[in-house]
Structure 1
Amino acid sequence: MDQFYSLCLQGDLNAAMDYLDSIQPRTKEMEKIQKMYMERFYSPESDEHILDEDKWIKGVLAAYHDYFRTVLTNAASLHEAEADLNNRLRMHLKVESPSTIDETENELAAIFAKKGYHFLGGVTPPYRGAYIWKRCEPIDFKVEIPHHSITVTVHMMSDFLLEGWMGFATFNNRTVGGWAQEDGLYCNSKRYKNLEHDDFQVSYLKHEAQHLSDYRSFPGLTSAELEYRAKLVELIYTKDHSILKKFLNDAKNEPEFPHPYASYNIMKDLSFAIFEKDYESNINVWLEEDYQEISSAALELFDKNTSELKMKY
């Protein structure tokens, strides 16, 4: 099901469902998943179970759920879907004067804070969030990234009500691990049960620490540029082909999706560096290559990119 969830994370549920339909023979688990998706995304009477009983919170979540359904099934344009979301939220807030979606979400954040929740709005490209969670515990880590170390505060988040469009698109089977902000890193703690495992130490901690370092050194980088550098850091520090296999599976040459687009550019650049090919898509070819060679090539790409950015800035 990795390919299915990768298509979901590329923001096109219709393509993901077509892919699921094409799989033969089908398992009971696949049939169960298809039924869940049909009920969530294609049923006119879809109704999500919301953990909190607060009617105001239920109304906000319902507005975001409907927005996610709309954009993920291409039922309306992004502009139309966002305008509808903003109108629904403003009506829920009982705000009559026109407000941008960002202003509306700032008001939501203030009310959620009074109700004991954290709220993060904005965009996880190409769609809007939001993320809503209850608990947050800070922990300090010293993190080695290429050519230096930094000390970061990681805010361990838990008890989520909403995990953005990616969580909604995958029934939280694939969710955002966290993000970097000026005041530190934010981590979805349920994703990482063992803080010593590479899933946390490399794919989360080093990845997000690189974002934090780049915010300071190269302000203004696009999301795709940030992801390109942070994903290279993962390849530099991991010990085997597992992350590379994930990047190859997720890669998509579409700039509006920063994560898949960064994976695509990394695989393209590594293909040229190692095989002198435009793009090697066969995972078996990659698995035959000694991983240390791949890691070294990733470091060379990272250093080359850093030199280019230093010239630019």
Structure 2
Amino acid sequence: MQSLTLLISAIFSIISSISCIEKKAISEEPFDFNQVYTLGLHGNMSAALNFLDSIPNGELTDSQIIAKEKYIERFREQNEKYVYDTKDSLAINVVEMFHSYWKIVLLDDSYLGKADAELENDLADLLWKNKYLNNQISKDSLSKNLYVHLNEFLRSKGFYSNAMGKTGKFYDLFLWANETEKRYDIKLPEKNTKVKVIFLEDFISNGWSYYATFGVAFTGGWATKDALFCVKKAWDVSSENFKVSYLTHEAQHFEDNISFPLLSQADLEYRAKLTELSTAKKTIYEIIENFIKRAKNNRENAHAFANYCVIRDLSKKLLNRDSLTDMDQWKNISYTKINKASKSLLINNAISLKNAGTEIVTEFIK
């Protein structure tokens, strides 16, 4: 993620881009707990805790009270007895380091720089003591190439991993035990492509979004220059949701990583989300509603900013007005009109990026 959609920055040379797909939860309970999850996904856990404090338990269902208690235990009292899906002590140590880091930065991102440095140092120490102590590698070299060395270490322990890329602003950890592979032909709005999809199962760590929402929202997949990676439990692979919000979304990243190698994660997400809306039929209004609920005019939060820009630009193109957030009005617009307008925005965006220079353009949407 250059910082996601997961974009891995230049020092993370193995993976050029990761794309965070959030697994959506639709609340049918009197109090909409999704408000708490959204604050967590925006990296504002202090606000989430304060919001929970303001809601009396009498207004919550039994399951919501349990969820509230879990948040307090994990993020305020920090005395949770976490159950790890592995017995490997060193893998557990790595996960614990990320958990400690996530708690710090989710509660107060003003500590981000210091927390990043401490995590890097702690992980370098662990690698030095447990793998590289007798090798011709200095601790300084470990720190400078932590992405490569940490993933090599985890894979030497029998795991698959994608560790030390950034999802949004925060370092992330994806650690799983099993995977399978399948190939797909995908029709994108601008071209057709063939992709290899690797399905991931049996996670030990599924990233900070999973940790921040107790598994309600999490990264469902990402794209690299070689393949798409799919968290299998996040998707019904026979559904339009999978075909549109995973396959076409990630395939667009796959192509854009080649066409625009330096493009920011927010711009990549903008294009992939327009691709979803160019192809969706049954799920199109659900996608729009999700974008509206998770929109934020802040480029630091790539997904939220892309959501904001997509809704703004689509509202302008279809209705010649500022961002439309009323779903009843959106549902009065046929999916075919939304498809056509989204494809037009995507194509025009590609023209603008090419005019700016495919090999040098980094940011365009604002």
Relative to the length of structure 2, the TM-score reads 0.81
CA gap of 1:56–1:262, structure 2 versus 1, over 3 A, is same
Q: Would the aligned equivalents of 2:186 and 2:194 in 1 still touch at CA under 8 Å?
A: yes
Deviation at 1:92, TM superposition (A): 2.0
Aligned residue number for residue 41 of structure 2: 9
1:42 aligned counterpart, secondary structure: helix
How does 1:108-123 map onto structure 2 within 5 Å? 108-121=150-163, 122-123=165-166
Q: Which runs of 5+ in 2 are unaligned?
A: 1-32, 358-366
Please say if 1:249 is aligned against 2:293.
Answer: yes
1:211 offset after TM fit, Å? Answer: 0.6
Paired position in structure 1 for 2:119: 85
The yes-or-no answer on 1:260 pairing with 2:304 is yes
C-alpha distance in structure 1 between counterparts of 2:288 and 2:144, whole Å: 36
Give the superposition deviation at 1:256: 0.9
What aligned pairs does 1:92-103 form with structure 2 within 5 A after superposition?
92-93=126-127, 94=129, 97-99=139-141, 103=145
| 1:125 maps to 2:168 | yes
Kindly report the root-mean-square deviation, in angstroms, between the aligned alpha carbons of the 2 structures.
1.8
- What is the rounded CA distance, in whole Å, between the counterparts of 2:340 and 2:109 in structure 1? 45
The offset of 1:272, in angstroms, is: 1.3
Amino acid aligned to 1:178: G
1:214 aligns with 2:248: no
Q: Which amino acid aligns with 1:88?
A: D
Trace 1:34-45 onto structure 2 (pairs within 5 A): 34-45=68-79
Q: Match for residue 67 of structure 2? A: 33
Q: What is the CA distance between 1:86 and its match in structure 2? A: 1.6
Instruction: Using the TM superposition, give the Cα deviation of residue 268 of structure 1 relative to its aligned residue in structure 2, in angstroms.
Output: 0.9
SS at match of 1:129: strand
Aligned residue number for residue 162 of structure 1: 205
* C-alpha distance in structure 2 between counterparts of 1:34 and 1:118, whole Å: 32
The aligned counterpart of 1:144 is: 187
Deviations 1:126-152 (A, max 9, x none): 111111111121100000101321110
Distance 1:75 1:273 in 2: 36
Q: CA deviation at 1:280?
A: 2.0
Measured at CA, do residues 211 and 81 of structure 1 come closer, stay the same or move farther in structure 2, by a change above 3 Å?
A: same
Rounded to whole Å, the distance in 2 between the matches of 1:251 and 1:99 is 40
Cα distance in 2 for partners of 1:214, 1:188 equals 21
- The answer on 1:276 being equivalent to 2:320 is yes
Instruction: Give the deviation of 1:119 after TM superposition.
Output: 1.6
Contact 1:167 1:175 in 2 (8 A): yes
Q: CA deviation at 1:85?
A: 1.0
1:202 aligns with 2:266: no
Match of 1:306 in 2: 350
The 2-side partners of 1:86 and 1:80 are apart by: 10
Alignment partner, residue 53 of structure 1 = 87
- Separation (CA, whole Å) in 2 of partners of 1:76 and 1:70: 9
Secondary structure at the aligned position of 1:59 is classed as helix
Normalised by the length of structure 1, the TM-score is 0.94
Give the drift of 1:101: 5.0
Q: In structure 2, the residue corresponding to 1:169 is in which secondary structure?
A: helix
Equivalent residue for 1:287, pick from 323, 326, 331: 331
User: Is the 2:43–2:109 contact (alpha carbons within 8 Å) kept by the matching residues of 1?
Assistant: no
Question: What are the ranges of 5 or more consecutive residues in structure 1 without an aligned counterpart?
Answer: none
Change (3 A) 1:27 1:202: same
Partner of 1:182: 225
SS class of match (1:160): strand
Q: Cα distance, 1:282 vs. partner?
A: 2.6
Give the Cα separation in 2 of the matches to 1:297 and 1:284: 19
Contact 1:86/1:100 (8 A) holds in 2: no
Work out the CA distance in 2 between the residues paired with 1:288 and 1:7: 30
